[in-house]
Amino acid sequence: MAKPTILAIDTSCDETAAAVGRGQIILSNVIASQAQLHQQYGGVFPTAAKQAHREKIQPIIKAAIRQAGLGWPSIKAIAVTQGPGLAPSLEIGLQTALNLGQQHSKPVIPVNHIEGHILSVLAQAKPKQGYRRAIKPKLPALSVIVSGGHTEFVLVKKIGQYHRLGTTVDDAAGECLDKVGRLLNLGYPAGPIVESLAKKGNKKRFAFPLPMTNIKTFDLSFSGLKTHSKRLIKNLIVEEKLTKKTTADFCASLQEGVFNHILYKLTKLLDEVPVKELWLGGGVAANLTLRAKLRSLARTKKLTFRIPYSHKLTGDNAAMIALTAGYILERQPKTSAKSLDRRPRWAIGGN
Ligand code: KG4
Ligand code: ZN
């Protein structure tokens, strides 16, 4: 049976996103980034984010439907991110989805943003012609979500059935890269800039401590790496040594520190928890060094390694929300929300 066509909206943080999907196939994926707007604040400013979402959401939805080559009659349901995320940002997406649902008589499906990142590895591009065979993952899988707001290890027992095995106890990995990048005056978000500078840097120049090694859980912590960076950068500035070359070396060393921490905990986890696949999602999943480290670990452990097929699916996007809603509809075909409260702290698979 043909899968339903779903329009999805994500306004969880600072990207205004709409997309159309059908099963695993992504028909359109439109994203308006607010990065430039928040550059002046060095981070996301919630009131400005809400206003920008309000201005952009309608044209972005229109573009998503147009780029999918469809009209409203073909759309079966509207999916929307209910949380986690910034409350004022979430509110715009939820209001818009509920209004459109009423206006066009379509069911509205609330989706967890983290579940979206987890399942983003199952998305597929629309085939030029004919049919694309569905990805059928071997489960259980271990999903590693690394973004600006989250760093988690989630066991995917079944699609829709999750168990969180580890999470950061303070900052997220992306947040750590962004905050240290700010100290280095790299702009916002700093993650991608850190990656590009790191390519020319010496990762052995600065040593970073490996956090949480004396703690048995699979939880992570990045605030110590941030404090360590702060101290090193302060000294470099005082000693007038923060040259271009030193900045590149610092970026390479920082990346190594952040990613080795994830690798250390992940390796321990995989020693204890039997899984068949290793998945990587979230904004930092765009980073080639992180990908290479996880790919190599997956090879050692003989696990299938999956990452999203396009760069646009790693950061915040609505295509992953459309895909997730498709699975929700398969399990619960009658899902249809008439009112929805934002859930800024909606954890997935929590204990
Ligand atoms: O998933 P995402 O778009 O938003 C959240 O849900 O947080 O992730 C954004 C994060 C930011 O911290 C950004 O600096 C980081 O992903 N990021 C990267 C790269 N691209 C984005 N970090 C390292 N290397 C990259 N290439
Ligand atoms: Zn995200």
pLDDT digits (tens, 9 = 90+) for 149-159: 999 999 999 99
pLDDT at 34 over 90: no
Query: Poorest-confidence range of 29-38, 110-119, 167-176, 237-246?
Result: 29-38
Average pLDDT, the chain: 95
Going from the N-terminus, what domains does the chain have, and what CATH number goes with each?
Answer: 5-123+311-331 (3.30.420.40), 141-306 (3.30.420.40)
Closest of 2, 21, 25 to residue 10, by C-alpha: 21
Nearest atom within ligand 1 for CA of residue 314: 1
Calculate mean pLDDT across residues 301-321: 98
pLDDT at 351: 52
pLDDT at 43 over 80: no
Peptide bond into 107 cis (omega under 30): no
Q: CB–CB of 226/176 below 8 Å?
A: yes
pLDDT per residue as tens digits for the range 98-144? 999 999 999 999 999 999 999 999 999 999 888 899 999 999 999 99
Question: How many C-beta neighbours within 10 Å does residue 238 have?
Answer: 9
Can you tell me which residue has the tokens 């398969």?
330
Calculate mean pLDDT across residues 34-44: 77
pLDDT at 130: 85
State percent of the chain over pLDDT 90.
Answer: 89
| Burial tier of 187 (Cβ tally within 10 Å: 0-12, 13-18, 19+) | middle
pLDDT at 42 over 80: no
Calculated CA dihedral for residues 319, 322, 328, 334, nearest 10 degrees = 170
Calculate mean pLDDT across residues 144-168: 97
- Residue 171 CA to ligand 1 center (angstroms) comes to 13
**Residues framing ligand 1 (Cβ under 6 A):** 13, 147-149, 174-175, 177-178, 189-192, 195, 282-284, 286-287, 315-316
Give residue 171's identity as a one-letter amino acid code.
D
